[in-house]
Structure 1
Amino acid sequence: MRVHVILPAAGLGTRMASGHGGHVAANSSSISDGLHVVPAMAASASVAVMPTPAPKQFLTIGGKPILIHTLEAFLAVERVDAIYVAVKPQEMERVGQQIDKANLSQHARIFVVEGGDSRQDSVAKALAEVGGKYAAAADDVVLVHDAVRPLIESATIDKTIDAVLKHGAAIVGLPAVDTIKQVERTADGALVSSTIPRERVVYAQTPQGARYATMQRAFDEAANDEFQGTDEASLLERAGVPVVVVAGSARNFKVTQPGDLELAEFYLESGTRHA
């Protein structure tokens, strides 16, 4: 059994937030059963929020591109056998150069592959590489992680792998601390229709994973039906796959706003990155 990690960094970042169900892994005692999961935005190469022309994964924190920090986080986990960075064709050379500059090209575990026009397309293309060129076995573990979540902790990666091995599919989720309102869209704006109990809600993070055959089946079914999901879990759920939730961390945030860079710098300087 091998562990494959896909870092989609070629999409357009057009995901919408919506609720979907899940269960809780046994090692996630702080999250209750019967959850609504609210997806966060996908990693993207096109910047919609950050006021800079540079793709977010190429912005630097601690003197290194965000993507390099993310790669180093997964390289620190010995159980990870291969990491596939899915990027736009025109950015493949640049990513390769950054990997070389960071002295990571010595790691035979890193592969730069061509992504697609959306996150889902990028992951689908990477899955094709994993199953074809790199001959993944049906029971191999596949994790998908936002390239611009550089502060993912080794312990969280390990717990996600364990949850996939035990349950078949898993995501990382952060318990909600704000009150969540369900709304109806009207001509006068959004009207509150109900309040969702916070103990039944988590904010979806990454990694999100499943056995290779399970993940591939979910993507194949979505492609056949021309369905675009908000994240991997939404495709797995649609395919009838139970998805457990592993407790996440506030540090595992997606770099989206300018202030996120400063916060990431703080965590790096405080030495809490791979704790």
Structure 2
Amino acid sequence: MHSDAVAVVLAAGSGSRVGADGNKAYLTLDGRSMLVWSLDTALRIPEVARTVLVFRQGESELARRTVARELPGAAVEFVEGGPTRHQSERNVLRHLSGDIESGAVDVILIHDAARPLADAGMFTTAITMARDVGGALPALPVTGLARVSGGDADPLTEDVVRVQTPQAFRARDVLEAYRCAERDGFEGTDTSSCVERYTDIRVRTFPGSAANLKVTYPGDVAVAHHLLTAQNRAAGSP
């Protein structure tokens, strides 16, 4: 049986820290809603057979209208998110559970709509590595950190990384992890934390990108807009 990868774009958060009146995923960056940049990237990747947008509760019409206007004709599935990131991920896994259990879906890729600059290469690398070893995520090294105790600072000598999305995992393993988490009442900070707690699959890192910023604060909006504009001009986009 042929198995497919599914790309999931999470857009069920809020805009409180970025200063948006509503959901920051709908902020306009270089002429498009932020979430549409990630959806468009996923839709262009040959390894991705299905693309799912997880929208915030009460925003079904807004999500569908935005995608229809900015990505006309695109094959996007819609799933209502939950009050937390973990619950949003659980909802989309329930949506896909039948196809995961049948083997029709072998890899789940999770990406934050707030990271509109992740390129196709990161998506492809995550999917390929997940198929090979079980799980994959982009990471950037973090330097200049110290552990403070009693006013004394000791430089950290161990390797520390900052993880990004897209993160990809073997579908059956991530589904089982979230079922175990629901049984135990556990909520992870991201997909990898739940997978690492409840499975023994290897989660490997690959080089992230400094340009793959997460739009979190007001200043990030201008930076993301500038980077997308420059990127699209270089690519010859209208």
Which residue does 1:107 correspond to in 2? 74
Percent identical among aligned pairs is: 31
Deviation at 1:81, TM superposition (A): 0.9
Q: How many residues align?
A: 232
The answer as to whether partners of 1:181 and 1:192 remain within 8 angstroms in 2 is no
Pairing 1:226–2:185 present:
yes
The answer as to whether partners of 2:5 and 2:105 remain within 8 angstroms in 1 is no
Taking structure 1 as the reference length, the TM-score comes to 0.78
**In the aligned structure 2, how far is the partner of 1:273 from the partner of 1:258?**
24
Which residue does 1:235 correspond to in 2? 194
**In the aligned structure 1, how far is the partner of 2:180 from the partner of 2:104?**
17
Alignment map for 1:43-122 (pairs within 5 Å): 44=13, 46-102=14-70, 104-108=71-75, 110-122=76-88
Unaligned ranges ≥5, structure 1: 11-43, 185-189
The answer as to whether partners of 1:138 and 1:213 remain within 8 angstroms in 2 is no
* Post-superposition CA distance 1:4-43 (Å, at most 9, x none): 1112222xxxxxxxxxxxxxxxxxxxxxxxxxxxxxxxxx
Which residue does 1:39 correspond to in 2? none
SS in 2 for 1:245: strand
The answer as to whether partners of 2:112 and 2:165 remain within 8 angstroms in 1 is yes
Which residue does 2:224 correspond to in 1? 264
Which residue does 2:207 correspond to in 1? 247
The answer as to whether partners of 2:7 and 2:50 remain within 8 angstroms in 1 is yes
SS in 2 for 1:90: coil
Q: 1:79 to 1:133 in 2, by over 3 A?
A: closer
Which residue does 2:6 correspond to in 1? 4
**In the aligned structure 2, how far is the partner of 1:117 from the partner of 1:224?**
18
Which residue does 1:25 correspond to in 2? none
Which residue does 1:13 correspond to in 2? none
RMSD: 2.3
Pairing 1:168–2:127 present:
no
Which residue does 2:97 correspond to in 1? 131
Unaligned ranges ≥5, structure 2: none
The structure with higher relative contact order (CA 8 Å, sep 6+) is 1
**In the aligned structure 2, how far is the partner of 1:256 from the partner of 1:273?**
25
Pairing 1:203–2:162 present:
yes
SS in 2 for 1:156: helix
Q: 1:191 to 1:138 in 2, by over 3 A?
A: farther
Q: 1:243 to 1:134 in 2, by over 3 A?
A: closer
**In the aligned structure 1, how far is the partner of 2:233 from the partner of 2:112?**
16
SS in 1 for 2:209: coil
Deviation at 1:132, TM superposition (A): 3.0
Taking structure 2 as the reference length, the TM-score comes to 0.89
The answer as to whether partners of 1:138 and 1:211 remain within 8 angstroms in 2 is no
Q: 1:269 to 1:204 in 2, by over 3 A?
A: same
Which amino acid letter does the alignment assign opposite residue 248 of structure 1?
Answer: G
The answer as to whether partners of 1:73 and 1:274 remain within 8 angstroms in 2 is no
Q: 1:66 to 1:211 in 2, by over 3 A?
A: same
Alignment map for 1:177-192 (pairs within 5 Å): 178-183=143-148, 191=151
Pairing 1:153–2:96 present:
no
Deviation at 1:215, TM superposition (A): 0.5
**In the aligned structure 1, how far is the partner of 2:232 from the partner of 2:204?**
26
